[in-house]
């Protein structure tokens, strides 16, 4: 079914190329205030292929958090980037912030900074920023806009580095902010859309952001989504080989490029005895997959959609609570197969079109590569989900159906 790369916890809460006419950016403010379903063809100006020596900008939004202050994980990954031999037309731009202490490179923890990698060196290019809230949508929006204007490119890639908590908890843990603060999925969507920048792929070097909801929310901002539906180890992605591959040929096919990234991610995870899963999702297919999932879900008993390891049982079995279910997350196809209704084949077929490849370790071999999030946890989970989902353009009918879940279903499914 899926093209798997076999091999074997990061961030605990951790074919087509589209270009836009400039006028398309003016449409984005309208998109932000409506819950209608949109076809990307409404906004695509032309199909574009990349040239062998095109300019490429890789934007890395690095909310380094305790991953850096405690373990130095962010600087470890920067070292991998610095080890890559890349030409001057491939710009790796990093915004730093969110950590009490940087371990190397004299990166400031007193305020945010922007760096580029040039000639295997980390070069400070903007030291004028205050201590920015990395969980604020305006911080992300300004970084993307600044990067695009400062380093205009035909091919743009956006990567989120740090903690991830799924469709409801969102991205980022900034050590200078409240513990509960995060960049929610609707805030990410709005910030990216408002810049008018379209990405070749958007990636999450975080836990738990490989969900149907993430794909649906970002479907008009990029060609592909690269993310994990499960937890990642603290070592995360390996940056060297895929950046060098991109540098040698900036026209390299995105699927081939991200396969390299996924392969090295699995190798690094295996070396550190960590389970891993990473999937590339064609965002052109995200709307069809969402519709197929929704129509199936309406026919399924809600209790059958709750994971085998529920929030209640995971607390006892896994004291740290580090399971997908502890965040309200379940594998999309596991849920469809368990329910076994007449519509179960619909999301399975749609997933086969949407998930280009799924690379997984043996421990995660039963995962399809995409999750769904359901409000079977605490009483305050659904109200937060409702607001985020509606702001992401998820339709009110499905959001209303989700209200039928409640924590008492945990007992019936445990």
Residues 48-104: pLDDT tens digits? Answer: 689 999 999 999 999 999 999 999 999 999 999 999 999 999 999 999 999 999 999
Rounded to 10°, the helix 332-339/286-297 angle is 30
**Up-side HSE of residue 140: CA atoms within 13 Å toward CB?**
27
315 vs 398, which has greater pLDDT? 398
Is the confidence at residue 331, as pLDDT, over 80? yes
Tens digits of residue pLDDT in 294-321: 999 999 988 888 876 544 333 333 333 4
DSSP 372-409: EE---S-TTHHHHHHHHHHHTT--HHHHHHHTT--THH
Averaged pLDDT for residues 26-34:
35
Range with the largest mean pLDDT of 186-190, 300-304, 324-328: 186-190
The structure's pTM equals 0.88
CB 130 within 8 A of CB 110: no
Is the confidence at residue 33, as pLDDT, over 90? no
pLDDT of residue 342: 84
CB 12 within 8 A of CB 163: yes
Which residue carries 């609707």 as its tokens? 186
- Maximum pairwise Cα distance, the chain: 59
pLDDT of residue 341: 85
Of the ranges 190-194, 211-215, 276-280, 409-413, which one carries the lowest mean pLDDT score? 409-413
Phi, psi of 282, rounded to the nearest 5 degrees: -75, 110
């Amino acid at each position: 079914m899926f093209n798997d790369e076999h091999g074997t916890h990061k961030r605990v809460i951790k074919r087509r190329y589209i270009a836009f006419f400039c006028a398309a950016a003016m449409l984005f403010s309208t998109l932000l205030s409506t819950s209608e379903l949109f076809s990307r063809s409404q906004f695509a100006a032309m199909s574009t292929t990349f040239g062998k020596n095109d300019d490429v900008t890789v934007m890395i939004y690095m909310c380094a958090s305790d991953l850096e202050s405690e373990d130095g994980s962010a600087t470890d990954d920067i070292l991998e980037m610095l080890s890559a031999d890349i030409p001057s037309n491939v710009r790796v731009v990093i915004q730093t912030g969110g950590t009490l202490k940087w371990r190397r490179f004299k990166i400031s923890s007193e305020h945010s900074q922007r760096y580029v990698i040039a000639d295997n060196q980390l070069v400070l290019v903007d030291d004028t920023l205050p201590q920015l809230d990395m969980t604020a949508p305006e911080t992300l929006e300004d970084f993307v806009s600044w990067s695009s204007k400062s380093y205009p490119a035909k091919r743009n890639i956006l990567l989120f580095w740090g903690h991830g908590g799924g469709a409801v908890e969102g991205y980022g843990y900034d050590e200078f902010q409240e513990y509960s603060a995060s960049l929610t999925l609707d805030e990410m969507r709005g910030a990216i859309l408002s810049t008018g920048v379209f990405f070749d792929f958007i990636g999450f070097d975080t836990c738990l952001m490989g969900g149907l909801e993430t794909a649906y929310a970002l479907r008009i901002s990029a060609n592909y989504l690269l993310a994990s539906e499960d937890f990642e180890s603290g070592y995360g992605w390996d940056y060297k080989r895929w950046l060098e591959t991109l540098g040698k040929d900036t026209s390299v096919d995105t699927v081939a490029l991200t396969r390299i990234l996924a392969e090295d991610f699995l190798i690094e995870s295996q070396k550190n005895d960590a389970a891993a899963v990473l999937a590339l999702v064609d965002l052109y297919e995200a709307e069809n997959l969402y519709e197929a999932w929704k129509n199936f879900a309406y026919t399924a008993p809600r209790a059958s959609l709750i994971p085998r390891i529920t929030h209640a049982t995971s607390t006892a079995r896994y004291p740290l609570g580090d399971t997908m279910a502890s965040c309200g997350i379940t594998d999309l196809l596991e849920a469809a197969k368990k329910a076994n209704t007449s519509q179960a084949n619909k999301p399975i077929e749609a997933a086969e079109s949407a998930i280009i490849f799924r690379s997984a370790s043996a421990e995660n071999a039963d995962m399809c590569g995409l999750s769904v999030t359901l409000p079977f946890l605490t009483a305050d989970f659904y109200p937060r989900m409702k607001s985020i989902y509606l702001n992401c353009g998820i339709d009110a009918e499905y959001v209303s159906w989700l209200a039928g879940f409640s924590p008492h279903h945990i007992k019936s499914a445990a």
